[in-house]
Amino acid sequence: MGAGFVAFLLGATGPALLVYQAATNAGYPAAVIDSWFFAIYVGGGLLSLLLAFLYREPICGAFPIAGSALLVTVLGGYTVGEAVGAFLVSGVLVAALGFSGVFQSILERIPNEVVMGALAGILLPFGIEVFAILPGEPVLVGAMMVAFLLFFRFARAVPPALAALVVGMVLSAAGGGFDLGDVSVALARPVLVAPAFDLGAMFSIAVPLTLLALATQNAPGIGILRAGGYRPPVNAITIFSGLGSVLTAPLVGNGLNIAAPMTAVCAAPEAHPDPARRYVATVVQGLLFIAFGLAGATAVSLIRALPPALIVCVAGLALLPVILQSLRLSVGQPRHALAAGAALLIGASNVTLLGIGSAFWAIVAGVLLARFLGQDSSEAK
């Protein structure tokens, strides 16, 4: 139960703030944001429960964290309907890959170093922004960074980003920057949004969202389970992720997948000495996700009351481990280093070409460059 609670905290702190940032940057109304939270948390929780009871393995369902970070930068150029259309197409693509059984073969054709490079480029601005806002909010941001480092060093059982969030909320409340009077207690009221299909949104949102969900969440999550002695059903996981994404897309859900970091917590020996009992941690995580989603309106009002600097800082700190891992698995590898570096720089550039965002071009350029240079090129070594 403790492992399930920690896994829930991993998905309900930094990732929740990313979704809120993406929605507010795009100018979406409160009702849409509430529905978005309901879709991804209730949907992710139900996915956890489904996989846990069907396969008795600690497979944690969630939403694409890297994809949510991508949306922070690209969503502003599209209407809610166009975003829903892209989310829907992404879900169809994921489900189709699961039904066809070609998920693994497609990933093998796209160098992992390139995908990780594109991911690092997408996430890098979030880490940079933490230091960019430090001069303007030295006490708040500095204290949060210190709390993050202390818990990272001495109390890893507690997510360091959560410690930073708590410290930031306390300081903000003491300074009058966080008023609990603005927080409302209410259940989520999901809304249905008709999809609209825009070609630019397909390439800027749907395609990168699909690749990031499968390559940065499902694939490593499956690897974690296999390393723990489990036999995860790869195609079934992909199919359920895709179908769940299709069902939640009209509620403004940006997709469902299994969450690698949360799965790592629930599948660890610390969760339970008996591997056959560790799926209970996933059940706890799933139930907490559902509860959080049902109270989505309250969660959104709580986030809305937070100072912007606190939101930026927590999001950057929460993504820091992912940024470092992405750098290590991209430009830190001897193979395809140059192609991964190009993907990183293009992904970080936030450039738009032919109405298509940088995440798509980062992956395309990286794949083409990797093929041109060859696996064993001297430049990559």
| pLDDT one-digit tens code per residue, 40-89 | 999 999 999 999 999 999 999 999 888 888 898 888 889 999 999 999 99
Q: 257 phi and psi, to 5 degrees? A: -160, 180
pLDDT of residue 355: 62
On the CB side of 74, how many CA atoms lie within 13 Å of its CA?
35
Q: Establish if 376 belongs to a structural domain.
A: no
3-state secondary structure (DSSP) of residue 140: helix
Q: Establish if 352 belongs to a structural domain.
A: no
3-state secondary structure (DSSP) of residue 280: helix
| pLDDT one-digit tens code per residue, 263-314 | 877 887 877 888 889 899 999 999 999 999 998 778 777 777 778 888 788 8
Q: Establish if 369 belongs to a structural domain.
A: no
Q: What is the pTM of this model?
A: 0.76
In total, how many domains does the chain have?
A: 1
Q: Establish if 295 belongs to a structural domain.
A: yes
Give the residue carrying structure tokens 């944690």.
60
The whole-angstrom separation of Cα 55 and Cα 52 is 6
SS3 content of the chain, % helix, strand, coil (to 5): 75, 0, 25
Q: Establish if 80 belongs to a structural domain.
A: yes
Give the DSSP letter string of 291-322.
Answer: HHHHTHHHHHHHHHTS-HHHHHHHHHHHHHHH
Q: Establish if 215 belongs to a structural domain.
A: yes
- Per-residue pLDDT 10s for the chain (381 aa) are 877 887 887 788 778 888 988 999 889 998 999 999 999 999 999 999 999 999 999 999 999 888 888 898 888 889 999 999 999 999 999 999 888 877 667 666 778 788 778 878 877 887 888 899 899 889 999 999 999 999 888 887 777 878 888 898 888 888 777 766 667 777 888 999 999 999 989 988 998 898 888 877 787 778 778 777 888 888 889 999 999 999 999 999 999 998 877 887 788 787 788 888 989 999 999 999 999 999 877 877 777 777 888 878 887 887 787 788 778 888 888 888 899 899 899 888 877 776 666 777 888 888 899 888 875 444 443
Name which of 69, 94, 62 is nearest 262 in CA terms.
62
pLDDT of residue 104: 64
pLDDT of residue 154: 86
Name which of 42, 3, 44, 97 is nearest 259 in CA terms.
44
Show the domain range for 156: 2-328
What angle (nearest 5°) sits at the alpha carbon of residue 90, between those of residues 84 and 94? 145
Q: Establish if 355 belongs to a structural domain.
A: no
The whole-angstrom separation of Cα 363 and Cα 211 is 9
**How many Cβ atoms from other residues are within 10 Å of residue 131's Cβ?**
12
Q: Establish if 357 belongs to a structural domain.
A: no
pLDDT of residue 322: 73
Give the DSSP letter string of 49-106.
Answer: HHHHHHH-S---EE--HHHHHHHHHHGGGS-HHHHHHHHHHHHHHHHHHHHHT-HHHH
Longest dimension (CA), the chain: 61
